[in-house]
Amino acid sequence: MKAVYTVANLKQRYGERQVLDIPELTVREGEILTLVGPSGAGKSTLLRLLAFLEPPTEGSIRLTINGDAGEAPQIPVSLQRQLAMVFQRPVLQSRSVRANVACGLHFRREGDIRRRVDAELERVKLTHLADAHPRTLSGGEMQRVALARALVIRPRVLLLDEPTANLDPHNVGLIEQLVREQQERFGTTIILVTHNIFQAKRLADRVALIYENHLIEMADAPHFFDQPQDVRTRGFISGQLVY
């Protein structure tokens, strides 16, 4: 399977503080890779780096989509627009839900926006709130708007930073279903950061444990959960890793 991301000797420091050190990482086209690990391990930092939202201190991140390639810190806009990221805390603009979902399409100057946005709102079950202002939405609804805003642009790579943190089971189920559907229907490569080991089990093709700023172990999901190689992975899976 082709590699979408090729990461080598990646180091990220904020001032004197090293927050990430990953010698090697490859993300395969069309897979769901979940990054698991305790808070502060560096998962979200890695995701921001993979979204090219900040430059790495050292090392390289190479993105290849349909033969087009780019490397951090600056990739072409056309390649950047193949990516979309959903943050743990959704930040919506102070305009209607429909306008929020449409913004990525406007950025790309694409057509048929109204129909596509309405179809996406139906997909995330928010048609009835299309004209609502974000301040009237619940946390789960806001996160679904943020997800719809990312999905409507049909990204080749979708980066999700704890999209279901603090949500109720109904919203968690809905978002997980959308994530799976996105991969199956559109072949989107999905990198999902989660605390939730059960969510990783439900969704992942491959799982990577990030612990104390290092990539400890990465394997196919069944192998990761059933035959973990590292003692820290075993500890994380069994819930004994204190964080």
Partner 1 sequence: MSLDPLVLEIVLRSLHVTVGALIFSTVIGVPVGTWFALTHFPGKRIFTAFIYTGMGLPPVVVGLVVYLLLSRAGPLGSLDWLFKIEAMILAQTIIATPLIIGVTLSSVLSVEPDLRRQLRALGATRWQTTLSVLYEARFGLIVGLVAGFGSIISEVGAVMLVGGNIEGRTRVLTTAVVLETRRGAFDLALAFGIILLLVALLTNAVLVGLQGRSGRSTP
- Select from 49, 51, 72, 218 the one that contacts partner 1 (CB under 8 A): 51
36: region left, alpha or beta (phi > 0 left; psi from -120 to 50 alpha): beta
135 sits near partner 1 (criterion: CB under 8 A): no
Q: What are phi and psi of 86, to 5 degrees?
A: -115, 130
5 sits near partner 1 (criterion: CB under 8 A): no
- All residues at 6 or more sequence positions from 227 whose CB lies less than 8 Å from its CB, including other chains: none
- Select from 32, 153, 172, 207 the one that contacts partner 1 (CB under 8 A): 153
Interatomic CA distance for residues 88 and 159, integer angstroms: 11
- Answer whether 149's CB lies under 8 Å from 100's CB: yes
Binding string, residues 7-36; x marks residues near partner 1 by CB under 8 A: ------------------------------
Nearer to partner 1, 53 or 69 (CB): 53
Nearer to partner 1, 157 or 209 (CB): 157
Nearest distance in Å: CB 191, partner 1:
13
116 sits near partner 1 (criterion: CB under 8 A): no
2: its two tokens: 């082709």
What is the enclosing helix (H) or strand (E) of 25? strand 17-28
- Select from 93, 177, 227, 238 the one that contacts partner 1 (CB under 8 A): 93
- Select from 53, 69, 119, 231 the one that contacts partner 1 (CB under 8 A): 53
147 sits near partner 1 (criterion: CB under 8 A): no
User: Residues 75, 35, 27, CA angle at the centre, nearest 5°?
Assistant: 45
89 sits near partner 1 (criterion: CB under 8 A): yes
Nearest distance in Å: CB 85, partner 1:
4
β pairing state of 3-14 and 58-65: antiparallel
β-partners of residue 22 are 10
Interatomic CA distance for residues 76 and 80, integer angstroms: 6
β pairing state of 83-86 and 32-36: unpaired
Which stretch, 94-102, 168-176, 180-188, 213-221, contacts partner 1 (CB under 8 A)? 94-102
131 sits near partner 1 (criterion: CB under 8 A): yes
85 sits near partner 1 (criterion: CB under 8 A): yes
Cis peptide before 23 (omega within 30 of 0): no
Nearest distance in Å: CB 232, partner 1:
30
Residue type, 204: A
Residues at the contact surface with partner 1, assessed by CB under 8 A: 48, 51, 53, 77, 80-81, 83-85, 87, 89-91, 93-96, 98-99, 103-104, 107-108, 131, 133, 149-150, 153, 159
